[in-house]
Amino acid sequence: MHNMGFTDIDCICEGGIENQLDVQATDIRIHLNTAGPKPSIIFADNGPGMTPDKLKLSRRLFNRKEASDEKNGCFGIGGSVASSQLTRLSGKAVRLSKTKGAEAPIECALDYPDISKTDKYELHVHEVSVSMHSMWKKYAPNAENGTVEILECPRVVVDALIRDLPNAGLGLKYADYLAKGAKIAVFVDGALLMNVKAQDISDKKGASRYEEYDVPVWNKGDLVVVQFKNGLNQIKYVDAVDGKKFTMDPLKEGFKNIGTIKCTSSIRYTIPKNEQDWKQEQGGYYAKRVRKVVERWAIPFPNAGDYGAREVVAASRHVWNFPTSLDGFMGVEINKSRINKGNIHPLIYNILTELAENFSKRYWKSVAKEVPPRPVVPAAVPVAVSVAVPAAVPAAVPAAVPVVPAVVPAVPAVAQAKPVAPVKPSVIDVPGYQKLVPQSPKDLVIAMRDAKLRLDSMNFDELLKRASNTTESRIANAIQTMQENLKMLDQICK
């Protein structure tokens, strides 16, 4: 799973947050402990707890459950992989749980070094030991019920999580749960590292423009049809055969609605611009599975059209909230913690991105007239200068031909001409779309940023397929160009 991209952050989300949210826990705490001979990660929650049978079942590998819009997982491997991966199989993983009314917590321990040595994965649930009972008292958010899991981990794992968790976007990922009262807190050696706050992606209250719309997906055998509303508010359908838009009654045609993607599009962009406007780094396409934001893709910065329009397109946010019934069409993988954009049904992806682009264009059209005119840089004024004209020199001619002196008209001198200082090239920091030519250091930084965002948004698997059809000479030229550009950037940064 680690080689497939199931990172330590994913393990924290799966083992320390999502399983708890699935059982309606409202107080979730993650402890990262570096003190003592054995660093540890501790997950604690105030969920309903588990009976002995359920506790044993929770440690089974591939405890598969059907995909549900009420739960985050599906394959039953996330929790088990989380504990084994975070410990690196070098320590114990002890899970304590208590149901309301029970006299004491119960315990299920896995000794990964012993399991690796004996090649036996045996599960035993028993009454809590004295040492673990003290751990329950210390870490359980609610003494009456809940679950506490203690993982012995290498120091390097704990240190990396302390560094990375604050920037993991947990407030964005679990915004729906947090908005409804769930609390997620992270502690380091007993001190609070962060209280996770909900981050509203679409910013319905603060956005300059905000729209909600549905994109139902219909299916009949191998046929897929996507439904949407066009700019005239007319319902249209697109099929995957030829991509034509048409009107139909899918029910009469034998199609079944397999799920509806709930979409929101928003932008915060004002004229004149201010510091609260969204930047390109804040925009993008956000895939949201049920109540969890799973993935975000940057929008490639357009290379045509008004520069202001390009900024709106790249900085806008588009959330695609889909149900579990569309997992197979939306490229969901790795226990629902990743989406492979290349595996999203192309018809669905094309319609979603087209609707997103149309939203941005409509907004730009409504505000473009408010954009101030491009400043005109005055041209250099020519200076009149007095010129002394030398007398004409007669050419050598035969003696028989008389020489006629050339007559040169007098050039009047300009009296007391005032010199005009030459106009320096403008480096005024004006919006990019108002510049004739990019000219300031800031433009260079913006260009490099745009290049990076475009690279981040590229589908390199698809690029590799296309490159296989390119001649060797074109590939060599492209590589040389990239190397020259990198060399130039290295020189600038020195």
Q: What is the 3-state secondary structure (H, E, C) of 215-252?
A: EEEEEECCEEEEEEECCCCCEEEEECCCCCEECCCCCC
Would you call 260 helix, strand, or coil by DSSP? strand
Q: Mean pLDDT lowest for which of 15-24, 296-305, 469-478? A: 469-478
Final residue in a domain of this structure, among 144, 169, 195: 195
Domain residues for 169? 8-195
What pLDDT was estimated at residue 36? 79
What pLDDT was estimated at residue 400? 47
Q: Which is more confident, 2 or 101?
A: 101
**Domain contains 384:** no
**Domain contains 412:** no
- Indicate if 30 and 158 belong to the same structural domain: yes
What pLDDT was estimated at residue 399? 45
- Indicate if 471 and 361 belong to the same structural domain: no
Distance CA 343, CA 70 (A): 24
Q: Is there a contact between 31 and 135 (Cβ–Cβ < 8 Å)?
A: no
Q: Is the pLDDT of residue 199 over 50?
A: yes
Question: Among candidates 455, 454, 426, 424, which has minimal Cα distance to 442?
Answer: 426
Distance CA 137, CA 249 (A): 61
Q: Which is more confident, 219 or 245?
A: 219
180: its two tokens = 């409804």
Final residue in a domain of this structure, among 195, 223, 256: 195
Measured CA to CA in angstroms, residue 201 lies from 185, 263, 267, 271 at distances of 21, 12, 10, 22
Query: Domains in the chain: how many in total?
Result: 3
Residue type, 110: L
- Indicate if 229 and 352 belong to the same structural domain: yes
What pLDDT was estimated at residue 453? 77
**Domain contains 341:** yes
pTM (global) more than 0.75: no
Q: Which is more confident, 310 or 459?
A: 310
pLDDT tens profile 159-193:
999 999 999 999 999 999 999 999 999 999 999 99
pLDDT tens profile 260-304:
999 999 999 988 888 899 988 889 999 999 899 999 999 988 888
Q: Mean pLDDT lowest for which of 71-80, 120-129, 360-369, 398-407? A: 398-407
Distance CA 435, CA 426 (A): 10
Cβ contacts of 127 within 8 Å, gap of 6 or more: 104, 106, 107
- Indicate if 291 and 155 belong to the same structural domain: no
**Domain contains 475:** yes
pLDDT tens profile 406-464:
444 444 444 454 555 554 444 444 444 444 445 566 667 777 777 887 787 777 766 76
The pLDDT-based confidence of 102 (bands split at 50, 70, 90) is very high
What pLDDT was estimated at residue 152? 97
What pLDDT was estimated at residue 393? 45
- Indicate if 356 and 261 belong to the same structural domain: yes
Give the chain's mean pLDDT. Answer: 82
